[in-house]
Structure 1
Amino acid sequence: MASEQPWHAIFPPPKTTEPASLSREEVLDKLRAGSIGRDFILIDVRRNDYEGGTVRGAINLPAQTLYPTIPTLYQLFKNAGVRHVIWYCGSSRGRGTRAAGWFNDHIQDQGDKQMQSVILLGGIKGWATAGEDFVEFIDGYVPEHWAQLQS
Protein backbone atom coordinates (compact mmCIF):
# COMPACT_ATOMS: atom_id res chain seq x y z
CA MET A 1 0.00 0.00 0.00
CA ALA A 2 1.42 3.37 -1.01
CA SER A 3 1.82 5.92 1.72
CA GLU A 4 -0.30 9.00 1.39
CA GLN A 5 1.59 12.20 0.63
CA PRO A 6 1.01 15.35 2.69
CA TRP A 7 -1.46 17.84 1.20
CA HIS A 8 1.27 20.28 0.23
CA ALA A 9 3.31 17.75 -1.78
CA ILE A 10 1.41 18.62 -4.98
CA PHE A 11 2.71 22.21 -4.80
CA PRO A 12 6.31 23.42 -4.99
CA PRO A 13 7.95 23.97 -1.62
CA PRO A 14 8.31 27.62 -0.67
CA LYS A 15 11.75 29.14 -1.24
CA THR A 16 11.12 31.27 1.84
CA THR A 17 11.27 28.70 4.62
CA GLU A 18 11.58 31.13 7.53
CA PRO A 19 9.30 34.08 6.82
CA ALA A 20 9.38 37.21 8.95
CA SER A 21 7.03 37.29 11.92
CA LEU A 22 5.06 39.60 14.15
CA SER A 23 4.39 38.98 17.82
CA ARG A 24 0.81 38.80 19.04
CA GLU A 25 1.44 42.10 20.87
CA GLU A 26 2.43 43.79 17.60
CA VAL A 27 -0.67 42.43 15.85
CA LEU A 28 -2.89 43.47 18.77
CA ASP A 29 -1.50 47.00 18.49
CA LYS A 30 -2.39 47.00 14.78
CA LEU A 31 -5.92 45.80 15.53
CA ARG A 32 -6.39 48.47 18.19
CA ALA A 33 -5.18 51.10 15.73
CA GLY A 34 -8.00 50.04 13.41
CA SER A 35 -5.89 49.65 10.28
CA ILE A 36 -7.09 46.16 9.29
CA GLY A 37 -7.93 46.04 5.61
CA ARG A 38 -5.98 49.24 4.99
CA ASP A 39 -2.46 48.55 6.21
CA PHE A 40 -2.71 44.83 6.94
CA ILE A 41 -4.84 41.74 6.56
CA LEU A 42 -5.02 38.65 8.76
CA ILE A 43 -5.42 35.26 7.14
CA ASP A 44 -6.36 32.14 9.11
CA VAL A 45 -5.29 29.10 7.06
CA ARG A 46 -6.94 26.43 9.25
CA ARG A 47 -9.43 24.06 7.63
CA ASN A 48 -10.43 20.93 9.60
CA ASP A 49 -9.34 22.49 12.89
CA TYR A 50 -11.08 25.84 12.31
CA GLU A 51 -12.80 26.00 15.68
CA GLY A 52 -12.77 27.93 18.92
CA GLY A 53 -12.82 31.31 17.19
CA THR A 54 -10.49 33.39 15.05
CA VAL A 55 -8.65 36.67 15.45
CA ARG A 56 -11.06 39.54 14.86
CA GLY A 57 -11.31 40.51 11.23
CA ALA A 58 -9.32 37.56 9.88
CA ILE A 59 -10.41 35.84 6.70
CA ASN A 60 -10.31 32.07 6.40
CA LEU A 61 -8.37 30.77 3.40
CA PRO A 62 -7.47 27.12 4.05
CA ALA A 63 -3.85 26.35 3.23
CA GLN A 64 -4.83 23.23 1.31
CA THR A 65 -6.44 25.32 -1.46
CA LEU A 66 -4.35 28.48 -1.19
CA TYR A 67 -1.44 28.00 -3.59
CA PRO A 68 -3.30 28.45 -6.93
CA THR A 69 -4.97 31.65 -5.67
CA ILE A 70 -1.78 33.46 -4.63
CA PRO A 71 -1.45 35.63 -7.78
CA THR A 72 -5.08 36.79 -7.47
CA LEU A 73 -4.76 37.43 -3.74
CA TYR A 74 -1.58 39.40 -4.33
CA GLN A 75 -3.29 41.63 -6.89
CA LEU A 76 -6.30 42.20 -4.62
CA PHE A 77 -4.09 43.11 -1.67
CA LYS A 78 -1.83 45.31 -3.80
CA ASN A 79 -4.81 47.20 -5.24
CA ALA A 80 -6.16 47.72 -1.70
CA GLY A 81 -2.82 49.10 -0.47
CA VAL A 82 -2.21 46.29 2.02
CA ARG A 83 1.38 46.36 3.27
CA HIS A 84 1.41 43.44 5.74
CA VAL A 85 -0.18 40.07 5.02
CA ILE A 86 -0.25 38.19 8.32
CA TRP A 87 -0.75 34.41 8.17
CA TYR A 88 -1.54 31.97 10.95
CA CYS A 89 -2.76 28.47 11.69
CA GLY A 90 -2.99 26.65 14.99
CA SER A 91 0.63 27.33 15.94
CA SER A 92 2.06 29.12 12.86
CA ARG A 93 4.73 26.45 12.57
CA GLY A 94 3.25 24.48 9.68
CA ARG A 95 0.54 25.74 7.36
CA GLY A 96 0.94 29.38 8.42
CA THR A 97 4.67 29.32 7.75
CA ARG A 98 4.20 27.55 4.42
CA ALA A 99 1.51 30.02 3.29
CA ALA A 100 3.61 33.02 4.34
CA GLY A 101 6.58 31.52 2.50
CA TRP A 102 4.64 30.96 -0.72
CA PHE A 103 3.19 34.45 -0.59
CA ASN A 104 6.58 35.98 0.16
CA ASP A 105 8.04 34.13 -2.83
CA HIS A 106 5.35 35.69 -5.04
CA ILE A 107 5.98 39.17 -3.60
CA GLN A 108 9.68 38.77 -4.40
CA ASP A 109 8.90 37.50 -7.90
CA GLN A 110 6.92 40.71 -8.46
CA GLY A 111 9.84 42.86 -7.28
CA ASP A 112 7.53 44.39 -4.66
CA LYS A 113 9.46 46.17 -1.90
CA GLN A 114 6.34 47.54 -0.15
CA MET A 115 4.35 44.44 0.83
CA GLN A 116 5.45 41.92 3.47
CA SER A 117 4.24 38.39 4.12
CA VAL A 118 4.67 37.43 7.79
CA ILE A 119 3.46 34.89 10.33
CA LEU A 120 1.70 35.55 13.61
CA LEU A 121 4.04 34.01 16.19
CA GLY A 122 2.27 31.32 18.21
CA GLY A 123 -0.74 31.19 15.89
CA ILE A 124 -4.30 31.18 17.18
CA LYS A 125 -3.36 28.89 20.08
CA GLY A 126 -0.86 31.41 21.39
CA TRP A 127 -3.35 34.24 20.85
CA ALA A 128 -6.29 32.54 22.55
CA THR A 129 -4.29 31.51 25.61
CA ALA A 130 -2.42 34.82 26.14
CA GLY A 131 -5.00 36.50 28.33
CA GLU A 132 -8.07 38.71 28.26
CA ASP A 133 -6.53 41.46 26.09
CA PHE A 134 -6.22 38.92 23.28
CA VAL A 135 -9.45 37.00 23.93
CA GLU A 136 -11.30 40.31 23.55
CA PHE A 137 -10.15 40.29 19.92
CA ILE A 138 -11.39 36.80 19.01
CA ASP A 139 -14.53 36.49 16.91
CA GLY A 140 -16.61 33.43 17.83
CA TYR A 141 -14.61 32.74 20.98
CA VAL A 142 -15.41 29.36 22.57
CA PRO A 143 -13.79 29.28 26.04
CA GLU A 144 -14.19 25.51 26.44
CA HIS A 145 -12.15 24.87 23.32
CA TRP A 146 -9.16 26.84 24.58
CA ALA A 147 -9.48 25.68 28.21
CA GLN A 148 -8.62 22.13 27.18
CA LEU A 149 -5.31 23.37 25.71
CA GLN A 150 -4.33 24.98 28.99
CA SER A 151 -4.95 21.92 31.17
Structure 2
Amino acid sequence: MTSTTQGSAAVAPLWHAAYPAPKIEAPSLTRETVLEMLRDGNNVSGRDFVLVDLRRNDHEGGSIRGSINLPAQSLWSTIPIVYEMFKAAGLRKVIWFCGRVFTWSRKSCCRLFADHIAERGDTRMQSLVLLEGIKGWATAGEEYVQWMDEYDEAVWHKSKS
Protein backbone atom coordinates (compact mmCIF):
# COMPACT_ATOMS: atom_id res chain seq x y z
CA MET A 1 0.00 0.00 0.00
CA THR A 2 1.21 3.48 -0.70
CA SER A 3 0.18 6.71 0.91
CA THR A 4 -1.19 9.60 -1.06
CA THR A 5 -0.34 13.25 -0.70
CA GLN A 6 -2.97 15.78 0.17
CA GLY A 7 -1.61 19.28 0.20
CA SER A 8 1.75 19.02 1.97
CA ALA A 9 0.85 16.13 4.30
CA ALA A 10 0.90 12.45 3.35
CA VAL A 11 -2.40 10.70 3.93
CA ALA A 12 -2.30 6.99 4.77
CA PRO A 13 -4.64 4.79 2.75
CA LEU A 14 -7.79 3.60 4.48
CA TRP A 15 -7.42 0.18 6.14
CA HIS A 16 -9.97 -1.41 3.83
CA ALA A 17 -8.24 -0.24 0.64
CA ALA A 18 -6.30 -3.53 0.53
CA TYR A 19 -9.47 -5.60 0.23
CA PRO A 20 -11.13 -6.39 -3.10
CA ALA A 21 -14.20 -4.44 -4.09
CA PRO A 22 -17.34 -6.43 -3.25
CA LYS A 23 -19.36 -7.69 -6.22
CA ILE A 24 -22.80 -8.30 -4.74
CA GLU A 25 -25.13 -5.54 -3.54
CA ALA A 26 -25.95 -5.52 0.19
CA PRO A 27 -29.60 -6.25 0.94
CA SER A 28 -30.84 -4.66 4.14
CA LEU A 29 -33.26 -5.12 7.00
CA THR A 30 -35.02 -2.45 9.03
CA ARG A 31 -34.66 -2.42 12.80
CA GLU A 32 -38.38 -3.19 13.02
CA THR A 33 -37.85 -6.43 11.09
CA VAL A 34 -34.85 -7.40 13.22
CA LEU A 35 -36.75 -6.64 16.44
CA GLU A 36 -39.56 -8.91 15.24
CA MET A 37 -37.01 -11.64 14.46
CA LEU A 38 -35.55 -11.30 17.97
CA ARG A 39 -38.98 -11.54 19.55
CA ASP A 40 -39.93 -14.58 17.43
CA GLY A 41 -36.64 -16.32 18.14
CA ASN A 42 -36.30 -15.30 21.79
CA ASN A 43 -34.33 -18.50 22.50
CA VAL A 44 -30.83 -17.80 21.11
CA SER A 45 -30.09 -21.48 20.50
CA GLY A 46 -33.17 -21.84 18.26
CA ARG A 47 -32.39 -18.90 15.97
CA ASP A 48 -31.45 -19.29 12.34
CA PHE A 49 -29.77 -15.86 12.26
CA VAL A 50 -26.86 -14.10 13.89
CA LEU A 51 -26.22 -10.41 14.46
CA VAL A 52 -22.61 -9.34 13.91
CA ASP A 53 -21.35 -6.15 15.56
CA LEU A 54 -18.46 -4.84 13.43
CA ARG A 55 -17.25 -2.19 15.86
CA ARG A 56 -13.70 -2.33 17.18
CA ASN A 57 -12.59 0.59 19.34
CA ASP A 58 -15.97 2.28 19.44
CA HIS A 59 -17.69 -0.73 21.05
CA GLU A 60 -19.30 1.29 23.80
CA GLY A 61 -22.84 2.00 24.90
CA GLY A 62 -23.97 -1.60 24.56
CA SER A 63 -24.91 -3.93 21.76
CA ILE A 64 -27.94 -5.83 20.55
CA ARG A 65 -28.59 -8.82 22.80
CA GLY A 66 -27.08 -12.03 21.51
CA SER A 67 -24.89 -10.37 18.88
CA ILE A 68 -21.27 -11.34 18.39
CA ASN A 69 -18.40 -8.89 17.98
CA LEU A 70 -16.27 -9.35 14.89
CA PRO A 71 -14.38 -6.12 14.12
CA ALA A 72 -14.54 -5.16 10.45
CA GLN A 73 -10.74 -4.88 10.29
CA SER A 74 -10.40 -8.63 10.99
CA LEU A 75 -13.15 -9.92 8.71
CA TRP A 76 -11.36 -10.37 5.37
CA SER A 77 -8.88 -12.97 6.60
CA THR A 78 -11.50 -14.85 8.61
CA ILE A 79 -14.38 -15.00 6.11
CA PRO A 80 -13.85 -18.71 5.23
CA ILE A 81 -13.73 -19.75 8.89
CA VAL A 82 -16.67 -17.55 9.89
CA TYR A 83 -18.70 -18.89 6.98
CA GLU A 84 -17.99 -22.51 7.92
CA MET A 85 -18.93 -21.87 11.57
CA PHE A 86 -22.18 -20.13 10.59
CA LYS A 87 -23.02 -22.88 8.11
CA ALA A 88 -22.33 -25.63 10.69
CA ALA A 89 -24.62 -23.78 13.12
CA GLY A 90 -27.44 -23.85 10.55
CA LEU A 91 -27.64 -20.07 10.25
CA ARG A 92 -29.61 -18.72 7.33
CA LYS A 93 -29.19 -14.98 7.91
CA VAL A 94 -26.09 -13.03 8.91
CA ILE A 95 -27.02 -9.47 9.87
CA TRP A 96 -24.17 -6.95 10.01
CA PHE A 97 -24.16 -3.66 11.94
CA CYS A 98 -21.73 -1.05 13.21
CA GLY A 99 -21.86 2.22 15.10
CA ARG A 100 -22.68 4.70 12.39
CA VAL A 101 -25.69 5.28 10.22
CA PHE A 102 -23.60 5.37 7.02
CA THR A 103 -20.32 3.52 6.93
CA TRP A 104 -18.07 1.53 4.64
CA SER A 105 -17.66 -1.38 7.04
CA ARG A 106 -21.27 -2.45 7.45
CA LYS A 107 -22.18 -2.54 3.77
CA SER A 108 -18.84 -3.76 2.49
CA CYS A 109 -18.43 -6.51 5.10
CA CYS A 110 -21.94 -7.66 4.28
CA ARG A 111 -21.15 -7.62 0.57
CA LEU A 112 -17.78 -9.39 0.95
CA PHE A 113 -19.48 -12.11 2.99
CA ALA A 114 -22.27 -12.32 0.39
CA ASP A 115 -19.60 -12.78 -2.30
CA HIS A 116 -18.15 -15.69 -0.33
CA ILE A 117 -21.60 -17.27 0.11
CA ALA A 118 -22.22 -17.00 -3.65
CA GLU A 119 -18.78 -18.43 -4.50
CA ARG A 120 -19.69 -21.49 -2.42
CA GLY A 121 -22.98 -21.91 -4.29
CA ASP A 122 -24.86 -21.58 -1.02
CA THR A 123 -28.45 -20.54 -1.74
CA ARG A 124 -29.66 -20.90 1.86
CA MET A 125 -27.55 -18.33 3.69
CA GLN A 126 -28.04 -14.56 3.29
CA SER A 127 -25.78 -11.68 4.24
CA LEU A 128 -27.79 -8.60 5.27
CA VAL A 129 -27.22 -5.07 6.59
CA LEU A 130 -29.07 -3.61 9.58
CA LEU A 131 -30.18 -0.19 8.36
CA GLU A 132 -29.11 2.73 10.57
CA GLY A 133 -26.66 0.57 12.57
CA ILE A 134 -26.52 0.29 16.34
CA LYS A 135 -26.96 4.04 16.78
CA GLY A 136 -30.32 3.91 15.00
CA TRP A 137 -31.26 0.93 17.19
CA ALA A 138 -30.14 2.46 20.51
CA THR A 139 -31.94 5.75 19.89
CA ALA A 140 -35.20 4.30 18.53
CA GLY A 141 -36.94 4.00 21.88
CA GLU A 142 -37.45 1.75 24.88
CA GLU A 143 -38.64 -1.29 22.94
CA TYR A 144 -35.21 -1.41 21.23
CA VAL A 145 -33.16 -0.56 24.33
CA GLN A 146 -34.76 -3.54 26.12
CA TRP A 147 -33.02 -5.77 23.55
CA MET A 148 -29.55 -4.41 24.34
CA ASP A 149 -26.84 -5.74 26.63
CA GLU A 150 -24.69 -3.24 28.58
CA TYR A 151 -26.84 -0.32 27.39
CA ASP A 152 -25.44 3.05 28.48
CA GLU A 153 -27.88 5.86 27.77
CA ALA A 154 -25.21 8.54 28.19
CA VAL A 155 -23.28 7.20 25.18
CA TRP A 156 -26.25 7.41 22.82
CA HIS A 157 -27.61 10.75 23.95
CA LYS A 158 -24.40 12.83 24.07
CA SER A 159 -24.91 16.45 23.12
CA LYS A 160 -23.30 17.41 19.84
CA SER A 161 -21.14 20.34 20.89
Aligned partners of 1:149, 1:127: CA distance in 2, in Å?
Answer: 18
Question: What's the RMSD between the two structures over aligned residues?
Answer: 1.7
Return the TM-score normalized by structure 1: 0.93
Aligned partners of 1:45 and 1:62 also within 8 Å: yes
1:123-148 CA deviation, whole Å, 9 max, x = no partner? 00100010000000111000001111
Match of 1:71 among 60, 71, 80: 80
Cross-structure match for 1:25: 32
Percent identity among equivalent residues?
A: 51
Post-superposition CA distance 1:101-136 (Å, at most 9, x none)? 110000000111100000001100100010000000
Matches within 5 A, 1:1-151: 2-16=10-24, 18-33=25-40, 34=42, 36=44, 38-90=47-99, 91=101, 93-148=103-158
Higher Rg:
2
For residues 76 and 150 of structure 1, the distance between their equivalents in structure 2, rounded to whole angstroms, comes to 40
Work out whether residues 40 and 83 of structure 1, in 8 Å CA contact, stay in contact via their aligned partners in 2. Answer: yes
Alpha-carbon contact 1:54-1:139 (below 8 Å) kept? yes
Measure the CA separation in 2 of the matches of 1:60 and 1:98: 16
What SS does the corresponding residue of 1:130 show, helix, strand or coil? Answer: coil
After TM superposition, give the deviation of residue 40 of structure 1 in Å.
0.1
Cα 1:99–1:149 change in 2 (3 A) is farther
Cα displacement (A) at 1:2: 3.5
Task: Could you list the structure 1 runs, at least 4 aligned residues long, displaced by more than 6 angstroms after superposition.
Answer: none
Q: Give the residue type in structure 1 aligned to 2:16.
A: H
What SS does the aligned partner of 1:148 have? coil
Distance 2:160 2:39 in 1: 26
